[in-house]
Amino acid sequence: MSPESPPASAPGPAPAAAGTPPFALSVVIPTHDTRELTLACLAALAAAQPPPNEIIVVDDGSSDGTAAEVAASYSAVQLLRHERSRGFTAAANAGAAKTTGDLLLLLNSDTEPAADALGALLAAFRDDARLGVAGASLVYPDGTPQWSGGRAPTRLWLFALGSGLAHRLGGVRGWRRRRPVSGHAGGEVEWVTGAALAVRRSLWLELGGFDLRFELYAQDLDLCLRARASGWRVAVVQASRVVHHHGATVGQLAAAGAEGTSQAPATVARHDAARLWSDLVRWAAKNGGPPAARRTARWLRWGGMVQRGLLALDTLRGHKVRDHARRQRHALRAAALAARHTAAAADASTTAAGLPGEGRT
């Protein structure tokens, strides 16, 4: 069976009845210490046609005055305030629990939808009764295409992520003409990024929302694959264009999950590498048990070894590059250690539960 085809035995969604009224759209924006980005996102939504039926901002323990500024500038926005940060996944779930619309759109606070982006998403769901989850076509602020959706992670994908080769090749002149950014052209995919993810609210409730075991990443991957396993389609809607300041929220969100540490986590290619690798190992453990977790950690570490070697060469290119490369190498070592520990934890939890470890694939 093709991986692009949902299981034939899955129940799947019921066809939409003729004359169905327009969808009501609820938008949820989790934020932590991203006041200016959040206000820019709300300004973009204020210009949207059609406008969303409700907007819920979840201020996840911010200390920069986000909640007060949102309340003063956008009185119609529902504000949910967490006195202490609970993390991105919990904040998204808390906001979604307050929604009433037929469709739920989760937006990172560092996104700015185009004026017609919401309308394109609504049209996609209206025209396709089997569409369960849809992602926007993401771009950087300068208009450069950004990864928007694709296939589930494979060993090669994990190695490429760890090695940073795809990120490096993306900067090579002419490379993107040969290898366009995944998902940007639209169409059916296996998963879409949670930066701008729309889902039928009934499906969200059926699936139980995001899985709280994921700290900062992979909850979107997990949700999409569960939706496909239930017979729904997942797609990127090309006409729904959203600017994403990729990585702008990572430092704040990651730091919120690491309160009490002496410094903010280092990033690699705009990701908190340690949390990204750990969450991917958790996803592998959830779907394939400890053996899959160990394999995932291993491929990420092997890729990381390649990237650390490339960064060692970068240190020869000058003072500024040398300092940046050293920070990246430190982040990769921390990520490799975090992935190893997460895989070991999967083994330990299986052993404690009295379940077989090696036999699960």
Q: Are residues 281 and 244 both part of a single domain?
A: no
Nearest to 146 by CA among 308, 324, 269: 269
Q: How large is the average pLDDT for residues 98-122?
A: 97
- Cα–Cα distance, 52 to 190 (Å, whole number): 26
Element (H, E) at 240: strand 233-244
Find out whether 244 and 139 touch, Cβ atoms under 8 Å. Answer: yes
Q: Are residues 129 and 50 both part of a single domain?
A: yes
pLDDT of residue 312: 84
Q: In the chain, pLDDT over 90 holds for what percent of residues? A: 68
pLDDT of residue 177: 58
270 dihedral zone (left: phi>0; alpha: psi -120 to 50; beta): left
Number of domains in the chain: 2
The first and second tokens of residue 118, run together, are: 């919401």
**How do residues 302-335 score in pLDDT, each as one tens digit?**
999 999 998 888 777 766 678 888 888 899 999 9
Find out whether 183 and 189 touch, Cβ atoms under 8 Å. Answer: yes
In a domain, 213, yes or no: yes
Asked if the model's pLDDT at residue 2 lies above 80, the reply is no
Query: Which residues are CB-contacts of 115 (< 8 A; sequence separation ≥ 6)?
Result: 44, 47, 48, 49
- Cα–Cα distance, 132 to 223 (Å, whole number): 11
Asked if the model's pLDDT at residue 97 lies above 50, the reply is yes
Q: What is the DSSP letter of 317?
A: G
Asked if the model's pLDDT at residue 3 lies above 50, the reply is no
- Cα–Cα distance, 215 to 338 (Å, whole number): 13
**Band of pLDDT at residue 268, cut at 50, 70 and 90:** low
Q: Are residues 122 and 197 both part of a single domain?
A: yes
Q: Are residues 46 and 96 both part of a single domain?
A: yes
- Cα–Cα distance, 144 to 115 (Å, whole number): 18
Collapsing DSSP to helix, strand or coil, 60 comes out as: strand
Q: Are residues 306 and 323 both part of a single domain?
A: yes
pLDDT of residue 248: 61
Find out whether 217 and 161 touch, Cβ atoms under 8 Å. Answer: no
pLDDT of residue 11: 39
- Cα–Cα distance, 206 to 192 (Å, whole number): 19
Collapsing DSSP to helix, strand or coil, 167 comes out as: helix
Find the range with the poorest average confidence among 48-52, 271-275, 322-326, 356-360: 356-360
In a domain, 5, yes or no: no
Q: Are residues 247 and 264 both part of a single domain?
A: no
Select from 234, 251, 268 the last residue of a domain. 251
Find out whether 212 and 89 touch, Cβ atoms under 8 Å. Answer: yes
Cα separations in angstroms, 91 against 22, 107, 164, 197? 28, 12, 30, 15
In a domain, 360, yes or no: no
Q: Are residues 333 and 245 both part of a single domain?
A: no
The first and second tokens of residue 24, run together, are: 């009501």
Select from 251, 281, 302 the last residue of a domain. 251
Q: Higher-confidence residue: 158 or 321?
A: 158
CATH number at residue 38: 3.90.550.10
Select from 200, 218, 251 the last residue of a domain. 251
Q: What is the DSSP letter of 85?
A: -
In a domain, 17, yes or no: no
The first and second tokens of residue 58, run together, are: 């979840």
Asked if the model's pLDDT at residue 179 lies above 80, the reply is no
pLDDT of residue 254: 44
Peptide bond into 50 cis (omega under 30): yes
Q: Are residues 110 and 195 both part of a single domain?
A: yes
In a domain, 11, yes or no: no
Q: Domain span at residue 270?
A: 259-351
